[in-house]
Chain A
């Protein structure tokens, strides 16, 4: 299966600032997704990262708050903009590779103070 390197693994940020999370995959993958896991909650899909075009956002998530890039088939970034304490969550990158199914990154644990 694909191996994902997600950075940073954790961060503590001041409210009003932005954080960019990187997701690097060791091989080309068909699809890349970004999920959020709020404290004590399940995982919620934020968006599908589309290679070479704008991401596709789920209901309740917007590009201004969560801009996403995917310049090629192995790399994507998620930015959490103008952060507030409510953005404190674990953010996970996940990929689908043909024949190998779904793989998750180890996650970025974000705390906003």
Chain B
């Protein structure tokens, strides 16, 4: 079956630091890959996505590249802000439209 393995947190950074959250996956077929973000007290929001190999998703300064050879979709941001403090979920969707989520990584950015 499908599964997503995500870097465990929590991660604590200083403002303007570089952020990487690792994500690898196992799936049948050719899944689409997603990063979702959940800010404190809020619902789940789509951050970015990639639907095929070598695609790069980007949004709000975050980027992730769909790497089929390493089955990875690592999330990166070059300079984080306090407002980026949230829980980040890597996810995939395969042919059956069901989303499989990673465990989530809590990121705290300190001023």
Binding site for B on A (CB under 8 A): 30-31, 33, 35, 41-45, 48, 92, 94, 96, 101-102, 104-107
Contacts and interface: CB of A to CB of B under 8 A. Distances in A.
Interface SS of chain B: helix, strand, loop or mixed? strand
Nearest to B38: A37
B98 interface: yes
Nearest to A94: B99
Interface in B79-111: 89, 93, 97-104
Contact of A43 (B42, B49, B89): B89
Nearest to A103: B46
Contacts of A42: 89, 101-104
B40 interface: no
B98 A45 contact: yes
Interface in B44-82: 44-46, 49
Interface of B: 34, 42-46, 49, 89, 93, 97-104
B44 A107 contact: yes
21 contacts: A31-B97, A33-B97, A33-B99, A41-B103, A42-B89, A42-B102, A42-B104, A43-B89, A43-B99, A43-B101, A44-B101, A45-B98, A45-B99, A92-B43, A92-B44, A94-B99, A101-B49, A102-B34, A102-B46, A104-B43, A105-B43
Contacts of B49: 101
Contacts of B44: 43, 92, 104, 107
Contacts of B97: 30-31, 33, 96
A48 B99 contact: no
B47 to A, nearest CB: 12
A94 B46 CA distance: 12
A106 B43 contact: yes
A101 B44 CA distance: 14
Nearest to B99: A102
A21 B37 CA distance: 23
Contacts of B98: 33, 45, 48
Contacts of A92: 43-44
A38 B11 CA distance: 21
